[in-house]
Amino acid sequence: MFVTTIRSKQKGKVYETHLVRRTFREKGEVRTETLANITKLPADVRDLVRRSLKGERCVPSSALEILSSRAHGHVALIRGVIGDVGLRSALGSKRCRERQLVEAMIVARILAPQSKLATTRWWRTTTLPEELEVEDATEDELYAALDWLAEQQPRIERRLARECLQDGALILYDISSSYVTGRCCPLAAHGHSRDHRPDKPQVVYGVITNGDGCPVSVEVFAGNTSDTATVMDQVRKVKEGFGLERLILVGDRGMIKQTRIEELRKIDGVDWISALDTAQIRALVEGGDLQLGLFDERNLMEITSEHFPGERLVVCRNPLLAAERARKREALLQATEQRLRSICAAVAAGRLKKGVAIAERVGRAWGNQRMRKHFRIETRDGVFHFERDEKGIAREASLDGFYVIRTSVEDTRSYPADEVVRSYKRLSRVEHVFHNMKTTHLLVRPIYHYDERRVRAHIFLCMLAAHVVWHLEQRLADLLFHDPDLDELNRTGDPVAPTPRSAEGVRKDTELTSTDGGYPLHSLKTLLAAMGTLQRHTMRVANVQGASTWDQLSVPSQHQRRVFEAAGVRLL
């Protein structure tokens, strides 16, 4: 039995007749018989009859039960990008339990960074474990997968380097630190804390990126390792481990110092871009190589100096930076003076009498030790006097806004003076990687592991997650608070002055909508949260003996479809 629809046209109008018919054989021939005319029934009732006669089972909507719902959209988005950029194949060419667990931990580190035990409980609220078939994974298995990842790090980094690093191109390198809990990690030591937690031991780690800021490699050092002590190991890694014949290393002035430069000169195919420190700039001024008066009408000049043979020096002056440094200095001076005046009042009131006690109080009052050099003080029993060193302050202020980029790159055609400055400023992209790793997304700190191998693996895992975040930000830039013309403005604009927002960037900031389609703008974190509302439901029919279950994906919104399209990921 079936429902057939007959259409006829009379006087320009189309009429439909809906009939219930059956087929049967009679004397070897197939015949058709009309059983009922259901044309006058409502359309939804006719559809119900049609579907029932096809063998479909129809139940009331109230009989449908949702057994569970798991967030799926953000998992599908991140896993799609992991596969598309080649990270999955970099982890391992063949599917194995360890590769599945590491991929699951990368996704979890981006969406909900937390302990391994908490991770195994959190990801059951998503489709992540079923997609990777790790539903039964325990925290002990995740630790074992970290151990496996530590062993695979050299191979994985070589694969990433082949994809991201080009021979002769810029290599950006910088280091950061994160504090460690406990006292058992052999790498943990007190050093210069970039977390402003000098009370905690820490580890130091250096990240290598390509010229666009895509992280490729990370190395972990003891917490008391100086910046400059890490450089040569990383150069050897890039040259020997990654197989680059030529490279241009970009590092800040605290990292590529004169001693390291002398060592770099001995390695064939290695050039570098760094900066002079304040003492070196002052020596240029006092030696006559740098005349500050020439910058009244310009902000960039290339010079040479016999004190830096074989180097190009690019001098820059940023008036806005000069004004900001003057403002900060004056604010710190005034704050220091206020603390010193309180000591004067205590001495005048007789609460402080001994010179030793006065000196101890003054030592605590400096706060910012950099301000100590700007004051002259007199301390003895019953006497305390201070005044600003105006000449010293003026001497320091004369260099406000000046910085000097130094480089061994001789190719002035590919790297003219303005391009040298732009290359050095690209170090801000490594800072963005650290920002993502430490605060915004991945929460590398605090580090709870105490085994050295697992500390290294934990930080490597966070770097791999930062690699994925970088690709997400690039692909979803139109839907994020990102100026679409920023790279072009940086490439063509004044290399010294701050880059202004483009017209489209200003429009995004004002209207808070995307360039196309008027979709709401997000940070990457809130965008992933919005994608998590796309869920996979497990359903069944209630009160039916032996009823089977099935999975059904909620209908994605137009915005969610646009996100998948922008990321180049197919929704499954």
- Residue 61, pLDDT score: 72
Residue 97 within any structural domain of the chain: no
- What is the tens place of the pLDDT at every residue in 393-431? 999 999 999 999 999 999 999 999 999 999 999 999 999
How far apart, in Å, are the Cα atoms of 372 and each of 41, 344, 355? 93, 17, 18
- Residue 527, pLDDT score: 96
User: Residue 571: which residues within 8 A CB-CB, separation 6 or more?
Assistant: 73, 76, 556, 561, 564
- Residue 545, pLDDT score: 67
Residue 485 within any structural domain of the chain: no
- Residue 340, pLDDT score: 93
Enumerate residue ranges in the chain where pLDDT < 70. 368, 440, 544-547
Two tokens, residue 186: 């052999």
- Residue 51, pLDDT score: 87
Residue 473 within any structural domain of the chain: no
> Of 371, 397, 423, which residue is a domain's last?
397
**Percentage above 70 pLDDT, the chain:** 99
- Residue 561, pLDDT score: 95
Give, as one character, the DSSP assignment of residue 180: B
- Residue 195, pLDDT score: 86
- Residue 532, pLDDT score: 96
Q: Would you give the distance in Å from CA 405 to the centre of its chain?
A: 27
Distance CA 534, CA 529 (A): 10
Q: In 3D, which of 469, 460, 464, 467 has the Cα closest to residue 440?
A: 469
Could you tell me if 473 and 480 are in contact, meaning their C-beta atoms sit under 8 angstroms apart? Answer: yes
- Domain housing 370: 321-397
> Of 397, 415, 447, which residue is a domain's last?
397
Two tokens, residue 406: 């130094």
Burial readout 504-516 (b: 16 or more C-beta within 10 A, e: otherwise): ebeebeeeeebee
Residue 244 within any structural domain of the chain: no
Residue 414 within any structural domain of the chain: no
DSSP output for 44-100: HHHHHHHHHHTT-----GGGEEEEEEEE-HHHHHHHHHHHHTTHHHHH-SS--HHHH
Could you tell me if 205 and 222 are in contact, meaning their C-beta atoms sit under 8 angstroms apart? Answer: no
Could you tell me if 250 and 173 are in contact, meaning their C-beta atoms sit under 8 angstroms apart? Answer: yes
For residue 472, the one-letter residue type is L
Residue 562 within any structural domain of the chain: no
Model-level pTM?
0.87
Residue 456 within any structural domain of the chain: no
DSSP output for 505-565: HHHHHHH-B-SSTTPBPB-HHHHHHHHTTSEEEEEEETT-TT--EEEEEPPPPHHHHHHHH
Residue 113 within any structural domain of the chain: no
Distance CA 321, CA 401 (A): 5
> Of 375, 397, 419, which residue is a domain's last?
397
Count: domains in the chain? 2
